[in-house]
Amino acid sequence: MLDIALLRTNPELVKENIRKKYQDAKLPLVDEVVALDKEYRETIQKADGLRNQRKVLSKQIGGLMAKGQKDEAEAVKAQVAAAADELATLEAREEELQGEIRKRMLVIPNIIDPSVPIGKDDSENVEIERFGEPVVPDFEIPYHVDIMEKLSGIDLDSARKTSGNGFYYLMGDIARLHSAILSYGRDFMINRGFTYCIPPYMIHGNVVNGVMSFAEMENMMYKIEGEDLYLIGTSEHSMIGKFIDTILDESQLPQTLTSYSPCFRKEVGAHGIEERGVYRIHQFEKQEMIVVCKPEDSPMWFDRLWQNTVDFFRSLDIPVRTLECCSGDLADLKVKSLDVEAWSPRQKKYFEVGSCSNLGDAQARRLQIRVKGADGKKYLAHTLNNTCVAPPRMLIAFLENNLQADGTVKIPEALRMYMGGKSVIG
């Protein structure tokens, strides 16, 4: 959410940013907010005037009564009562205007970083760099579910009967590999100086509204019936929510956390959930990175976060590339975002396995995450998040890149301690 002062002083900048994101339908919101804000400030001014008038009149009543001027005192009391009625009306209007302004402000997108490429959708994202040499072996790479089934590692049929499409049972060595990847991801991030955390898997509605846009919430979040609780779609939601309504001393920054959680997503608009596949599913697990920092440090942390993911995948000898998200592909709260994509030898192309985002002060403004500087002044923190690793997408990349001609799967050195010393499964 933007600072409303920006809309007061430079509404054209906000409109130009909306155009860059190809969201022209939101352009009228800027003028609406400016007009509502003007009325809101005028209403506050009138209400303050009435409060001052009421104080003056109340003092007059005491003086008149002391002089025995009862009729005059009653007349002033009538004025106080009339002022009280008008004040109640103004206060109700204040609250109404505040709600209308906030409703619109929550929809107006954040100002994107000047370095973000301009484009309509993800087809116009820009490749930045490749890491590792993509290899296509001289033998056929089967579909990832076929690899898992050959290793007795997945049961989709049973999951369909218990839960429907978009769920799975992982079995045996594939289930162990899944856990090994998460354990390695946890230790990888701890070794990079991040504090390990397991957060709540359900959060209140005000936290949901603080960490994501309404459109994202509608498409992603599962709500618990009859409760003010939502299942998290990623641990970023509860990890950033951890700092709601807090004032951090500047000396406490940066807060660098790495969190494990299951994730639950409706995946609305995903063109259906595959019957045979684990690329897009309703339930998965993830190791995440969260940073809360000073505004001037957020560009540096953005680069460090995505580099962590690249280094993680390269430590398992999986080729990856980084992709700068264009303006039209950025969620409304994001200032800048970069995807990490892993190489698929079967498809002979890259696919997304992680996303790094700088949200500026948007989440901090919504959740009131503030910092007290050395001079005693308070300011809003910046928040960032990034995926370290999220099986089962990581499993797809891992299995395709480590499959051998005889159908066995090679286990890289870094994972063997988590796999009971195994160097191969099959």
Instruction: Kindly list the domain boundaries of the chain, sorted by start residue.
Output: 4-105, 122-425
Residues 4-105, CATH architecture: Orthogonal Bundle (1.10)
Structure tokens at 158: 């049973």
Q: What is the CA radius of gyration of the chain?
A: 28
Report the 10 Å Cβ neighbour count for 217: 18
In this structure, are residues 273 and 224 in contact, taking their beta carbons and an 8 Å threshold? no
Model pLDDT, residue 1: 85
Model pLDDT, residue 78: 75
254 prior amide bond cis, ω within 30 = yes
First to last CA, the chain: 51
**CA distance linking residue 241 with residue 257, whole number of Å:** 13
CATH of domain 122-425: 3.30.930.10
| Element (DSSP H or E) covering residue 338 | strand 336-344
Model pLDDT, residue 52: 78
Degrees to nearest 5, angle at CA 279 with 337 and 22: 35
In this structure, are residues 121 and 53 in contact, taking their beta carbons and an 8 Å threshold? no
Model pLDDT, residue 49: 83
Structure tokens at 337: 């975002």
Model pLDDT, residue 76: 66
Provide the 3-class DSSP secondary structure of residue 170: strand
Model pLDDT, residue 380: 98
| Element (DSSP H or E) covering residue 126 | strand 126-131
Model pLDDT, residue 104: 94
Model pLDDT, residue 278: 87
pLDDT tens, N- to C-terminus, the chain (426 residues): 899 999 999 999 999 999 999 999 999 999 999 999 999 999 999 888 877 777 766 666 667 666 777 777 667 677 767 777 888 888 899 999 999 999 999 999 999 999 999 999 999 999 999 999 999 999 999 999 999 999 999 999 999 999 998 899 999 999 999 999 999 999 999 999 999 999 999 999 999 999 987 677 777 899 999 999 999 999 999 999 999 999 999 999 999 999 999 999 997 555 555 667 888 889 999 999 999 999 999 999 999 999 999 999 999 999 999 999 999 999 999 999 999 999 999 999 999 999 999 999 999 999 999 999 999 999 999 999 999 999 889 999 999 999 999 999 999 999 999 999 999 998
Structure tokens at 11: 């509404």
